[in-house]
Structure 1
């Protein structure tokens, strides 16, 4: 089963949905996930003020109620001068794809979600992204240094490839996240538009397979 996920690491509904998607993969261990980065707020320049924080906390509460996902609310409230730009973290996931094209990119995506929502890491900062990404990619016999990760993250070619992902998401008609598709005979079939439980996804997949 070949799945295509269109999502953004700093999208709270994507964070809650990722847990359901992990459960789906556990049921279908031979499945693969192709990631298309969405660019939820790519290029944003406005500083997150108190109203913006409360708006996000309201959404976080909804996601938590629906999914049970953990959120570090104090980490959000304590941010000063934070610009909610999702391009840097999307580019970090693309960087991981460039450095290790055979790696399970969904694991890297999940590492950035955990870093932002639980550890309150600054996922707009290149150094922080490089540290998180290098840890996620490194294996006992195959390590990626934070320096190598950061150098690749800064390249114009990486910026361009990230923008290409955003463009692909738009050509797919995706304007909200997450979106999950099943790729079958070179066609894409919608499985989920927004947060969806694993049982509901199973029902949709069975209809597609029929």
Structure 2
């Protein structure tokens, strides 16, 4: 059995779910976590953030319900409104970090959300992946090279297809996958204890 975490790095609810994901992963160190980018802001949805008028209200709800932190720099970003969230670039970055340290994919995915939602670093900028890799004690040059490689684009597209095949309709979604059996554990938000109870019922350790 493994966990499959389908999220989008530019999704506020995914950011709110990060502490739960970290806690579940720490409680089940023997349970692999596959991280898949879902592709929330692609195609016609890749527009300036001002066109999503609900963002600030949604973030306030996320912070209240999950305790997620949204930094002052990020708040200035949303107030300006010109920033474009590009989930394809973010998915390339997730793939790059995953390539450098596959066993730490969940940790790095949550770190990536922190640098956007707290520090407002663009997930389209190679320097962002250098910082995340350096902060994690990883090979920063390798992370940047992976982000800029054609393979990262292919991996991002493969992630989007995998999300669709898994039937994911919203982010974040946490699944338990055991062979052909796919069990939803969380959609949107859940506590680590709630997920634990489901994993226990499935026989996970």
Q: Normalization by structure 1: what TM-score?
A: 0.84
Q: Secondary structure of 2:5's match?
A: strand
Between 35-44 and 63-72, report the one with greater CA deviation: 35-44
The CA distance in 2 between the partners of 1:188 and 1:107, in whole Å, is 23
> Does residue 70 in structure 1 map to residue 69 in structure 2?
yes
Aligned to 2:182: 188
Measured after TM superposition, the shift of residue 26 of structure 1 is 2.9
Are residues 185 and 81 of structure 1, via their aligned partners in 2, closer, same or farther at CA, if it must alter by over 3 Å?
Answer: closer
Distance 2:140 2:20 in 1: 31
| Distance in 2, Cα, partners of 1:203 & 1:128 | 40
Q: Provide the residue aligned with 1:85 in structure 2.
A: 86
Q: Structure 1 pair 45/177, CA: closer, same or farther in 2 (3 Å)?
A: closer
Distance 2:189 2:111 in 1: 19
Is 1:145 aligned to residue 140 of structure 2? Answer: yes
- How far does residue 15 in structure 1 lie from its aligned partner after superposition? 1.0
Give SS of 1:104's match. Answer: helix
Uncovered stretches (5+) of structure 2, i.e. residues with no partner: none
Partner of 1:55: 54
Preserved contact between residue 107 and residue 136 of structure 1 (Cα < 8 Å): no
**Which residue in 1 is equivalent to 2:28?**
28
Name the CA distance, whole Å, in 1 between partners of 2:42 and 2:135: 23
**Aligned residue among 188, 191, 197 for 2:191:** 197
Q: CA deviation at 1:167?
A: 0.4
Between 27-36 and 58-67, the greater mean CA deviation after superposition: 27-36
What's the TM-score once normalised by structure 2's chain length? 0.86
Which segment is superposed worse, 62-71 or 128-137?
A: 128-137
Match of 2:162 in 1: 168
CA distance in 2, matches of 1:107, 1:164: 21
- Which consecutive unaligned segments of at least 5 residues does structure 1 have? none
Give per-residue Cα distances to partners, 1:92-138, cap 9 Å, x unaligned: 1101222334x31112111111101111112222x333323432453
Please state whether the residue corresponding to 2:84 is helix, strand or coil: coil
Aligned-residue CA RMSD in angstroms?
A: 2.2
**Alignment match, 1:120:** 120
Matched, 1:158 2:152: yes
Q: Distance in 2 between matches of 1:2 and 1:137?
A: 23
* 1:156-187 deviation per Cα after TM superposition (whole angstroms, max 9, x unaligned): 22201110110010011112111111122452
State the distance in 2 between where 1:152 and 1:203 align.
38
| Paired position in structure 1 for 2:13 | 13
